[in-house]
Amino acid sequence: MSVAGTGTRSAPFVFATAQYESGDWDSAPLVPANIIDSLARYTALAVRPQGVIVPLSSEAVFHYPLLYLTGHLPVRFTSREREVLGKYLDRGGRLFVDDHNHDVDGAFNKTAREEIRRVAGPLLPLPNTHELYRCFFVFENGPPATSHEMNGWGDNLVHEQLDAVVKNGRIRVLFSNKDYSSEWSFHPDNKRFLSVDNTRFGVNIVVYALTR
């Protein structure tokens, strides 16, 4: 059985935030509305106006083709969360993980990577030539930088690449240390103050998940 929504346009896309028992899974509550707004602005995709929160321990995750997971604190999946996430990925689901600390030495980065390795395998650098960066908007240099990478906190690094678990040519897990969770955590009405909408890369992540 495939994850609902993959390879089909029969139902609107629903932005799903993964709720896990450890850590602070709800650290970026404005991100879903912002990405939903961008999908409605720029694409012809049918999209539900509100996102959902789905427990990672629940087989309800199988209804959603893409899960967004973030936080600042250590991540320790329960055995049930590992079991469900493994099945979800095996059935075609995609997981986008963003380190809200943008810190390679931080607790979220280290523990989330460990959990992903246990469930799906090691995260490896994703080439900046990958189709993810061209499936809707074109990002010639790979993942766009965030202001939060360059403002003197976190690890003081601009991360030139994202990491991923890829199987049979498809991204199963996409992992970011760039802190898109902070970059995209603002009310969509404030986009009028931006010269370039910084949520456009989020559109690529969704389009890739739905079409590849």
Residue 112 within any structural domain of the chain: yes
Amino acid letter for position 28 = A
Torsion 33-35-41-44 (CA) sign: negative
Residue 1 within any structural domain of the chain: no
Q: In this structure, are residues 14 and 4 in contact, taking their beta carbons and an 8 Å threshold?
A: no
Q: pTM to 2 decimals?
A: 0.94
3 pLDDT band, cuts 50/70/90, is low
CATH of the domain at 78: 3.40.50.12140
Residue 4 within any structural domain of the chain: no
103 pLDDT band, cuts 50/70/90, is very high
- The DSSP bridge partners found for residue 70 are 98
Task: For residue 117, give its domain range.
Answer: 16-211
Q: How confident is the prediction for the chain on average, in pLDDT? A: 93
Q: In this structure, are residues 139 and 173 in contact, taking their beta carbons and an 8 Å threshold?
A: no
What is the reported pLDDT for 10? 65
Residue 9 within any structural domain of the chain: no
What is the reported pLDDT for 4? 56
Residue 25 within any structural domain of the chain: yes
Residue 96 within any structural domain of the chain: yes
- The DSSP bridge partners found for residue 33 are none
Residue 146 within any structural domain of the chain: yes
Helix ranges (H only) for 67-179 are 79-90, 107-120
What is the reported pLDDT for 152? 60
Report the 10 Å Cβ neighbour count for 194.
10
State how many domains the chain has: 1
Distance separating alpha carbons of residues 172 and 67, to the nearest angstrom? 11
Q: Per residue in 75-90, pLDDT tens?
A: 999 999 999 999 999 9
